[in-house]
Amino acid sequence: MEKFLWAFIVGGLICVVGQIMMDVFQLTPAHTMSTLVVVGAVLGGLGLYEPLVKFAGAGATVPISSFGNSLVKGALMEAESTGLIGVLTGIFEITSAGISSAIIFGFFAALVFKPKG
Amino acid sequence: MSNLKNKKLTLTQQKYKVFAQQRVTQRPVLANCIKAFFVGGTICLIGQLVQWIFMTYFGFDEVTAGNPTVAVMIILSVLLTGLGVYDHIGQFGGAGSAVPVTGFANTVASASIEHRSEGFVLGVGGNMFKIAGPVIAYGVFSAFVVALLKIAIKGLGGM
Amino acid sequence: MLQGHQSWVFDTRPVIIASAAVVGPFEGQGPLADDFDVIHSDMYVGQNSFEKAERKLLEQACEIAIKKAGTQKEDIHFFLCGDLMNQIISSSFTARTLGIPFLGLYGACSSSMEGLSLAAQLIDSQAAQIVLAATSSHNGASEKQYRYPTEYGAQKPPSAQWTVTGAGAAVIAAQGNGPRITAATIGRIVDMGISDPFNMGAAMAPAAVDTIQSHCKDLGRDPSYYDVIATGDLGKGGHRIAADLLAEHGFNLPENIFTDCGILIYSQDQPVMSGGSGCACSATVTYGHFLKRMRQGELKKILIVATGALLSPLSYQQKESIPCVAHAVSLEM
């Protein structure tokens, strides 16, 4: 149950960081999300994101920053098994589910729904 | 960042900017942060619940539960986007709804839905990543750089 | 005839013999609902895209105005029209339906008064006898083009405005009954360095102030000459800025005279942040609400100052600020 509390708190805090970027630094949502992804990638590279995931569970895996972490993880894992070329071939290994789902279900949505303004 | 912008403005323009700022309703930063905290936290909480369901009832472990959890969150977000609900959540929660992966799915779904009138290939296909494109582009590029740097540093006997 | 530096005085006093305002469901829930000719309950107006819906609104406003004028579209000499869509497709496609010789305009949200002043000039200089001037905007279409897909959950700040879904049209003639166009002031571009597309009121206010001042100077009038001076769509913040700026320059406009169409069109409990905007904002409020009050004898002399923000999504991405313009038309009964 403790995991749920930390998921809520850590997830909320990462979102507050995003809100500050949008309101105080006047970044657009696209800029904000891109920055958080890059931050996630950097923290992932430094080995600091995995401990956060272990601690906060979905509070660290649901925010977009985990996307950056997963991209780095995929690249490093593949590089370890197949050599330097793995950096290119492994990037989408872990994030494939996310991107594929977004495309597939986004497409279904376009088939079924109409914008409501 | 705003100082850089000010350098290109004349003195009159800078004075006007201050004049205008005093008369236009400013963004309620604190209220927005609190709302972002609660909306974002709740979405992550739901994610944690979904992950727990997958681990308890479907036999996934902590690592393998990640993928179906993300897929479920994305489906939920696409549904809410299509039903015309997510934009209201977004107006209320700001970054609380944009930062989680549900926000990413919302960008793809909303762009797809919006551009259907231009056809499925050029409209839906061509505009799907209008807002999400930078996230993928910069995510991949930074992951590439970080991974290379880490391998290089490791190779030089670093970490 | 030219008066002063940038104003026209119309000695023949062209008449607005008919006008029409057509709006969408959201505007129909606002305080001016009774002043509009048609309120649609469906923002798609039975079409399958926002852009086609905007076209339908514009066509309908033009047809209602032509019918009210007791004339046929074949008898109208020129059609002046502008809108917010890329390449002003709403206007062009409506002109195709109407078949009237067409002059396309782009003034962003100042299109209504740009069209009306040019129409009056054509009539006054005997270059035409009947002219149709119109403009339109659609919330869904402009959000899609200028900002984000409508279902996207981006948070709009309090200074943002809500594009009006609607269209306004007016038939102007040399003779007839109705409010008369007595003068117009063509605005120049004013850019005070504001670059936030979610704060257009602040960007446009200096242009409105510049045009009002030029108008008063050219015509030798004091603002108190008018019963109402209404800006197009400055919204709450922009309107406050304009009022204070005018006061600083020695023009004291009492609050009951100086108002804004963007503030009038929606009620306080409608979630529109700073107020309405879009070409249809000044058009529907003027052609629906203000002209009605003039015809009823409540208002004798009004000045409508339509304001436009002349940015594009590309100019914003290339870090440009927002150049703005305001055109003023003086209407007297």
Q: Are C161 and C108 in contact (CB under 8 A)?
A: no
Pick the range with the lowest mean pLDDT from A82-86, C128-132, C237-241, C257-261: A82-86
Chain A nearest-CA distance from C210, in A, is 29
Tell me whether residue B42 is in a domain: yes
A26 lies within 8 A of chain C by CB: yes
Using the beta-carbon criterion (under 8 Å), do A115 and C139 form an inter-chain contact?
A: no
Q: How far apart are CA C300 and CA A6, in angstroms?
A: 66
Within 8 A of B12 by CB-CB distance, chain C residues are 192
Considering the domain architecture, whether residues C163 and C214 belong to the same structural domain is answered as no
B40 occurs within a structural domain: yes
Judge if C23 and C149 occupy the same domain: yes
Residue C15 to residue C183: CA distance in whole angstroms:
12
* Same-domain pairing of C192 and C155: no
Q: Encode pLDDT of B85-134 as tens digits.
A: 999 999 999 999 999 999 999 999 999 999 999 999 999 999 999 999 99
Six-digit token pair at C91?
């206007």
- Is B46 part of any domain? yes
Select from B22, B155, B101, A14 the least CA-distant residue to C237: B22
Give the chain B residue nearest A107 (alpha carbons).
B112
How many domains would you assign to chain B?
1
Whether residue B146 is contained in a domain is answered as: no
Q: Which of B12, B98, B115 minimises the CB distance to C153? A: B98
Domain boundary among C173, C196, C228: C173
Residue B3 has pLDDT above 70, yes or no: no
Residues of C within 8 A of A117 (CB-CB) are: 43, 50, 139-140, 143, 150
Element housing C291 (H / E) = helix C291-295
| C116 and C249 fall within a common domain | no
- Other beta carbons within 10 angstroms of residue B62's beta carbon come to 11
pLDDT range class, residue B158, cuts 50, 70, 90: low
Number of domains in chain C: 2
Chains that touch C (3 or more CB pairs under 8 A): A, B
Cβ atoms of A12 and B38 closer than 8 Å: yes
Say yes or no for a CB contact (<8 Å) between C236 and B115: no
Q: Has residue C272 got a pLDDT over 80?
A: yes
What number is the average pLDDT over the span C294-308?
A: 97
Determine whether the interchain pair B91/C238 forms a contact, defined as Cβ–Cβ distance below 8 Å: no
Residue of C nearest to B89 (CA): C153
State the residue range of the domain holding B69.
29-128
Share of chain C above pLDDT 70, in %: 100
Residue B90 has a CB neighbour count (10 Å cut-off) of: 28
Which residue segment(s) compose the domain that C203 sits in? 180-332
Residues C106 and C251 placed together within one structural domain of the fold? no
- What is the overall mean pLDDT for chain C? 96
Chain CA centroid to CA C253, Å? 21
Dihedral sign (CA B140, B37, C237, C271): positive
What is d(CA C272, CA C266) in angstroms, rounded to the nearest whole number? 8
Query: Residue B5: in which H helix or E strand, if any?
Result: helix B2-7
Are C92 and C6 within one domain?
yes
A29 to chain C, any CB pair closer than 8 A? The answer is yes
Q: What's the pLDDT at B7?
A: 56
Closest residue in chain A to residue C47, using alpha carbons only? A114
Other Cβ atoms less than 10 A from the Cβ of C213: the count is 17
ipTM of this complex:
0.93
Average pLDDT over every residue of A65-90: 93
| Chain C residue numbers touching A114 (CB-CB < 8 A) | 44
**Angstrom distances, CA of residue B70 to CA of B49, B53, B55, B145:** 12, 13, 14, 25
C64, pLDDT greater than 60 = yes
Residue C4 has pLDDT above 90, yes or no: yes
| Residue tagged 């996630």 (tokens) | A40
- Can you tell me the mean pLDDT for B53-73? 91
Of C140, C154, C155, the CB nearest to A115: C140
C118 and C192 belong to one structural domain: no
pLDDT surpasses 60 at C107: yes
Contact C151 B110 (CB under 8 A): yes
Phi, psi (deg, nearest 5) at residue A57: 55, -120
Chain A touching partners, 3 or more CB pairs below 8 A = B, C
Q: What is the DSSP string of C60-83?
A: HHHHHHHHHTT--GGG--EEEEEE
- Chain A partners of C139 at a C-beta cutoff of 8 Å? 117
pLDDT tens-digit map of A20-44: 999 999 999 999 999 999 999 999 9
**What mean pLDDT comes out for the span C138-148?**
94
Domain stops at, among C144, C173, C202: C173
Question: C164 with C197, same domain?
Answer: no
What is the model's pLDDT at position B1? 42
Tokens of C294: 């003039």
Under DSSP, the state recorded for C226 is -
pLDDT on residue A116: 82
Average pLDDT over residues C145-168: 94
C101 within 8 A of C77, measured Cβ to Cβ: yes
Neighbour count for residue A13 (Cβ, 10 Å): 19
CATH number at residue C286: 3.40.47.40
Give DSSP secondary structure letters for C236-287.
Answer: HHHHHHHHHHHHHTT----TTTEEEHHHHSS-TTSS-TT-EESHHHHHHIII
Tokens representing C244 are: 């204070």
* pLDDT for the residue numbered A115: 87
pLDDT bracket for residue C123 (50, 70, 90): very high
Question: Which of C121, C152, C173 is the last residue in one of the domains?
Answer: C173
Question: What residues of chain B lie within 8 A of the CB of C206, using their CB?
Answer: 16
Is residue B61 assigned to a domain?
yes
Q: Are residues C127 and C219 in the same domain?
A: no
Eight-class DSSP state of B41: H
**Chain C contacts in chain A segment 51-110 (CB below 8 A):** none
Predicted local confidence at residue B4, as pLDDT: 47
pTM of the model as a whole: 0.93
Task: Show the CA angle centred on residue B19, arms to residues B18 and B21, nearest 5°.
Answer: 60
Q: What number of other Cβ atoms are within 10 A of residue C200's Cβ?
A: 29
**Cβ pair A117:C149 closer than 8 A:** no
Q: Specify whether C264 is located in the same domain as C314.
A: yes
Write out pLDDT tens, residues C12-31: 999 999 999 999 999 999 99
Using CB atoms, pick whichever of A22, A26, A115 lies closest to residue C150: A115
Measured between CB atoms, which of C149, C153, C156 is closest to B103?
C153
At A76, is the pLDDT very low, low, confident or very high (cuts 50, 70, 90)? very high
Confidence class for position C99, pLDDT limits 50, 70, 90:
very high
